[in-house]
Amino acid sequence: MKPKRLNVIKELAGLVKPYKYVLLAVLFCLVVLSCCNLAMPFVLKYVINNVFLPGEAGVADPSSLLSILLYVLVIIFVIYGLRNLLFYLSKTRVMVVGEKTAFELRQRLIRHLHTLSVDFYQQNKPGKISARVMQDAQSIKQFIQDELASMMINVLMLVVAAGIMFHMHWMLTLATLAVLPFHVLVYYLFRKPITAYAREAKERIADVSGDLIEQFDGAATVKASTTQLIEQEKFRESLRKGMRAQIRQSRYYTLQKVAADLFVGLGIIVLFGLGGYLVLYRGMKPGDFVAFFFYVRILYPRLIELVSQAGKFSRAGTSVERVFEMLNLEPGVPENPKAVPFEISRGRIEFHRVSFGYQDGRVLEDVSFAIEPGEHVLVTGPSGAGKTTCINLIPRFYDPQEGTVLVDGVDVRDFTLTSLRRQIGCVFQDCFLFNDTIMTNIRYAWPEATDEAVVEAARGAYADEFIQKLPNGYMTMIGEGGIQLSQGEKRRLMIARAILKNPKILILDEPLVSLDQHARQRALEGLSSLMRNRTVLTITHYPAELPYANKHMHVSDGKVTVRDLSGKVLNP
């Protein structure tokens, strides 16, 4: 466990390193603040020995005593004013560091997540991914804001208070600090279960978030299948598991505090026993003992709080581990450092002895074929045969495990990912639209496009006619996933998006699925304009519904067979 803990500390230090000068200024404020806090017992000692017990100092004149008291009151006023000013300055600076750290960490996570390949998102629930971006970053931020400065000041005050106590009376200090090893033991005994249950609790919360998103996305399916009670029970069970982990974590955390407080009580008993003996029989001044006691009152609560904060650090460390687990994931489709932003001028596609598979087996085995510029190829085959997988190798959603995919004679791995994907248009089977305006959704393919270009693309997709009938036209908000539109209307917006992109290569995945006769006809009209002067691959189970084709590609049993319209096999 030790190397792992050191690694967490290293990673956390790396997160706050850009703000090291701010933190050094905070540390300076905390040092002065600690001195202010530690000055009060000295003031108390002085007042008791010189004002409340004047005979001890040889001062009996009431007016002189009153002057001393007024002088002490001014000192107390200055101490409290200074400590609150320093607390405000240090707290606000640490809050800024926490917010900026969380902001940069979330940005870093999003940038990294966008480099990960499609299979990562297929294997992980959206709720679990978003939990690491938002909840874990929030936990780290809260630790920095609420605990980091407090831990620093607690350590400072413990060290300085212990030094002062040794200076005042070394024997009494040793007796008081005899319980310190027990506090360290308490921390190490409880650290492991607190960390383990904190991690489990976060994983369970992420699972619950993922289940919720699935239920909301599939609300229509749930209602149609009348499985609300089943889904409620699944949700209840996920919540129950998360609740159990949270309860276990809180139980160990509370037990840690209880054990620490019991040892504090033991230390107080030793203090009063030995201290009373020293005052009664060894000539220790009452003011000195009271001052020493107040230093103990400073030391022990700080010690308990530090043990408690160590438990909170374990929980924050869990968030750090989860975040860096994600940041350390290698992209399944890495970009070649020597990649070049090639331009696709013709749109010729060639597979040369390509093989690809998942963990459960090969999907493509030694596949070779060529598609000439401007051809329209229908891609067919049984469900699960690998049609979509085969086509997804072109824009590098996956990389072949063997062989080469070429576009215009260039290995797709030699393109920069951005340049390759910007020149390939995709109309997916699932019409994903954002909860934004129609204008923004079409422009998503080309953010720099003018309004006129967006409208022209919509006309090419035969979408302009229904858009104009909407209350706010192109500025109409379409709701989550385009819920306010029909399947046919959503499909036409996807086609308009592809037209606006104006790609040399176009991939259509079941473009007519789930459409009625009228919507299918309008979609075909949009597709016909989209297919002109482009290399087009259309994945479909119904080739007869798509009359615009030059070739037919059949994917089955790991093999790909390409035929012309007469049925002649064209690939080896």
Domain of 48, CATH number, reads 1.20.1560.10
Among candidate residues 297, 327, 357, the one where a domain is terminated: 327
Q: Which residues lie below 8 Å from residue 243, measured CB to CB, with a gap of 6+?
A: none
Name the band, by pLDDT with cuts 50, 70 and 90, for residue 435: confident
Torsion angles phi and psi, residue 18, rounded to 5: -60, -15
For the segment 500-518, the average pLDDT, to the nearest whole number, is: 81
**Does a structural domain hold residue 498?**
yes
Q: Which residue has the higher pLDDT, 502 or 429?
A: 502
Q: Is residue 287 domain-shared with residue 378, that is, in the same domain?
A: no
Q: Is residue 318 domain-shared with residue 374, that is, in the same domain?
A: no
Name the band, by pLDDT with cuts 50, 70 and 90, for residue 275: confident
**Does a structural domain hold residue 343?**
no
Q: What pLDDT is attached to residue 3? A: 38
Q: Is residue 264 domain-shared with residue 400, that is, in the same domain?
A: no
In this predicted structure, the answer to whether residue 203 has a pLDDT above a threshold of 80 is no
**Does a structural domain hold residue 178?**
yes
In this predicted structure, the answer to whether residue 55 has a pLDDT above a threshold of 60 is no
In this predicted structure, the answer to whether residue 183 has a pLDDT above a threshold of 70 is no
What is this structure's pTM? 0.66
User: What's the burial of 537, exposed, middle or buried (CB within 10 Å: 0-12/13-18/19+)?
Assistant: buried
Q: Which residue has the higher pLDDT, 475 or 167?
A: 475
- Look at 92-106, 159-173, 553-567 and tell me which has the smallest mean pLDDT: 159-173
For the segment 150-175, the average pLDDT, to the nearest whole number, is: 81
Four-residue CA torsion sign, 256, 257, 260, 262? negative
Q: Is residue 359 domain-shared with residue 492, that is, in the same domain?
A: yes
- Measured CA to CA, the distance from residue 60 to residue 166 in angstroms comes to 32
Interstrand relation of 424-427 and 505-509 (parallel, antiparallel or unpaired) = parallel
- Measured CA to CA, the distance from residue 494 to residue 433 in angstroms comes to 8
Q: Which residues lie below 8 Å from residue 5, measured CB to CB, with a gap of 6+?
A: 317
Q: What pLDDT is attached to residue 481? A: 67
Q: Is residue 28 domain-shared with residue 169, that is, in the same domain?
A: yes
**Does a structural domain hold residue 412?**
yes
- Look at 131-145, 191-205, 456-470, 481-495 and tell me which has the smallest mean pLDDT: 191-205
Which pair of tokens denotes residue 106? Answer: 């979330």
Q: What pLDDT is attached to residue 405? A: 95
Among candidate residues 327, 359, 380, the one where a domain is terminated: 327
- Measured CA to CA, the distance from residue 524 to residue 548 in angstroms comes to 9
Q: Is residue 200 domain-shared with residue 93, that is, in the same domain?
A: yes
Q: What pLDDT is attached to residue 355? A: 94
DSSP H or E stretch at residue 426 = strand 424-427
Total domains in the fold of the chain: 2
Q: What pLDDT is attached to residue 222? A: 61
For the segment 98-118, the average pLDDT, to the nearest whole number, is: 87
Q: What is the pLDDT of residues 209-222, one digit of tens each?
A: 766 666 666 665 66
Helix-strand-coil split of the chain, %, nearest 5: 65, 10, 25
**Does a structural domain hold residue 38?**
yes
Task: Give the CATH number of the domain where residue 366 resides.
Answer: 3.40.50.300
Name the band, by pLDDT with cuts 50, 70 and 90, for residue 343: very high
Which pair of tokens denotes residue 208? Answer: 């619950």
Q: What pLDDT is attached to residue 415? A: 94
Name the percent of the chain lying above pLDDT 70. Answer: 89
Name the band, by pLDDT with cuts 50, 70 and 90, for residue 354: very high
Q: What is the DSSP string of 310-330?
A: HHHHHHHHHHHHHHHHHHTPP
**Does a structural domain hold residue 36?**
yes
Q: What pLDDT is attached to residue 281? A: 79
Highest mean pLDDT of the ranges 186-200, 234-248, 398-412 = 398-412
Q: Write the single-letter amino acid at 347.
A: G
Q: Which residue has the higher pLDDT, 544 or 555?
A: 555
In this predicted structure, the answer to whether residue 470 has a pLDDT above a threshold of 60 is yes
Residue with tokens 């220790």: 284
Q: What pLDDT is attached to residue 4? A: 45
Q: Is residue 273 domain-shared with residue 375, that is, in the same domain?
A: no
From 44, 56, 272, 288, select the one nearest 167 (Cα to Cα). 288
Q: Is residue 104 domain-shared with residue 220, that is, in the same domain?
A: yes
User: CA–CA distance from 144 to each of 287, 346, 415, 452 (Å)?
Assistant: 39, 55, 42, 49
Q: Is residue 82 domain-shared with residue 163, that is, in the same domain?
A: yes
Q: What is the pLDDT of residues 356-403, one digit of tens each?
A: 988 777 899 999 999 999 899 999 988 888 898 899 999 998 899 999
Q: Which residue has the higher pLDDT, 340 or 36?
A: 340
Q: What pLDDT is attached to residue 395? A: 92
Work out the mean pLDDT of the chain and round it to a whole number: 81
- Measured CA to CA, the distance from residue 323 to residue 164 in angstroms comes to 42
> Which residue range(s) make up the domain with 270?
2-327
Q: What pLDDT is attached to residue 225? A: 61
Q: Is residue 424 domain-shared with residue 320, that is, in the same domain?
A: no
For the segment 304-316, the average pLDDT, to the nearest whole number, is: 72
Please report, for the chain, how many H helices and E strands are present, in that order: 19, 10
- Measured CA to CA, the distance from residue 95 to residue 13 in angstroms comes to 16
395 neighbors 349 (Cβ within 8 angstroms): no
In this predicted structure, the answer to whether residue 442 has a pLDDT above a threshold of 80 is yes
155 neighbors 310 (Cβ within 8 angstroms): no
Q: Is residue 80 domain-shared with residue 224, that is, in the same domain?
A: yes
**Does a structural domain hold residue 335?**
no
Q: What is the pLDDT of residues 81-90, one digit of tens each?
A: 888 898 888 8
Q: Which residue has the higher pLDDT, 571 or 457?
A: 457
For the segment 447-475, the average pLDDT, to the nearest whole number, is: 89
Q: Is residue 251 domain-shared with residue 357, that is, in the same domain?
A: no
Q: Which residue has the higher pLDDT, 304 or 13?
A: 13
From 243, 231, 207, select the one nearest 130 (Cα to Cα). 207
**Does a structural domain hold residue 169?**
yes
